[in-house]
């Protein structure tokens, strides 16, 4: 089989994404997550974009980048139907991998074939970039004990619980868990343990809110039992 050359039309290279990782501008070659999003925006060609393609464009070695990509829409005001399920299930898969100490993420073939409309993805990127630029400007490597291998299981466990909550049919139940996962993922990307710690604290708040909501629902439903 002849190797692909850089002179081929971009549409051919996009179709060949699963085969030629060297053609992909990935998060591994970008300093910040916002750089990875801009690379993704520059490669939007098809009307729908598969999650597997996004996974490759986010970078095969950066589990934090993929985790943040799927968590951030829970916080941003993006009118995307079924967002909790579409993004929540990949969050569960990636969180399990983080729990087992993986530094790179992969999506099962069936999940990788799921797709997002290009226009929805474009809206997401446009809304995310200004906020990311402001936050990334103040992040720096610190308290690296919370970004190392020993902390991976703790962060992975927290993200897994939060991802499960996101998929539940709780009104606005994805907001605080999404914020917590986003903070932890961003801290992993930037090696900023302070932000990872903040994400863990927000995760505790999210669990308290969910517990209080469930207690409240149980109390309301008790007279009808």
Q: How far apart, in whole angstroms, are the C-alpha atoms of residue 68 and residue 37?
A: 11
- Looking at residue 137, what is its pLDDT? 93
Please report which confidence band the pLDDT of residue 220 belongs to, taking 50, 70 and 90 as the band edges: confident
Least confidently predicted of 104-108, 139-143, 171-175: 171-175
pTM: 0.81
162-214 confidence digits (pLDDT tens): 999 999 877 777 899 999 999 999 999 999 999 999 999 999 999 998 888 77
Position 42 scores a pLDDT of 83
pLDDT confidence tier of residue 225, bands split at 50, 70 and 90: low
- pLDDT at 221 (0 to 100): 62
pLDDT of residue 224: 53
User: What φ, ψ does residue 138 adopt, rounded to 5°?
Assistant: -110, 0
Residue 199: how many CB atoms within 10 A of its CB?
Answer: 25
Structure tokens at 217: 């629902």
Question: What's the Cα-to-Cα distance from 86 to each of 42, 67, 83, rounded to whole Å?
Answer: 23, 13, 5
**CA pair distance 142, 197, nearest whole angstrom:** 11
Residue 7 pLDDT: 44
Give 152 or 15, the one with higher predicted confidence. Answer: 152
Contact 183, 196 (CB under 8 A): yes
Q: Rounded distance, CA 188 to CA 196, Å?
A: 7
| Residue count of the chain | 225
Four-residue CA torsion sign, 162, 40, 49, 79: positive
Tell which wins on pLDDT, 6 or 143: 143
Tens digits of residue pLDDT in 66-100 = 999 999 999 987 777 677 888 899 999 999 999 99
Q: Per residue in 44-58, pLDDT tens?
A: 888 999 988 888 877
| pLDDT at 157 > cutoff 90 | yes
Distance CA 54, CA 112 (A): 9
Question: pLDDT value at position 8?
Answer: 38
pLDDT at 59: 63
The DSSP call for residue 24 is S
């Amino acid at each position: 089989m002849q190797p692909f050359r850089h002179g081929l039309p971009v549409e051919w290279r996009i179709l060949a994404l699963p085969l030629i990782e060297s053609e992909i501008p990935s998060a591994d070659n970008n300093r910040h997550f916002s750089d990875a999003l801009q690379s993704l925006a520059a490669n939007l060609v098809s009307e729908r974009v598969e999650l597997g393609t996004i996974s490759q464009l986010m970078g095969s070695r950066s589990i934090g980048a993929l985790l943040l990509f799927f968590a951030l829409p829970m916080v941003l005001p993006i009118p995307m139907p079924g967002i909790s399920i579409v993004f929540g299930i990949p969050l569960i898969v990636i969180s399990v991998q983080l729990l087992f100490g993986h530094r790179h993420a992969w999506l099962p073939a069936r999940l990788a074939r799921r797709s997002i409309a290009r226009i929805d993805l474009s809206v997401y990127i446009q809304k995310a970039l200004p906020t990311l630029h402001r936050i990334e400007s103040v992040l720096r490597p610190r308290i690296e004990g919370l970004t190392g291998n020993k902390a991976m299981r703790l962060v992975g466990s927290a993200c897994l619980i939060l991802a499960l909550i996101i998929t539940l049919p709780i009104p606005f139940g994805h907001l605080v868990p999404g914020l917590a996962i986003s903070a932890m993922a961003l801290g992993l990307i930037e090696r900023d343990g302070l932000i990872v710690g903040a994400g863990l604290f927000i995760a505790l708040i999210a669990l308290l809110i969910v517990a209080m909501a469930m207690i409240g629902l149980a109390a309301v439903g008790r007279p009808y039992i």
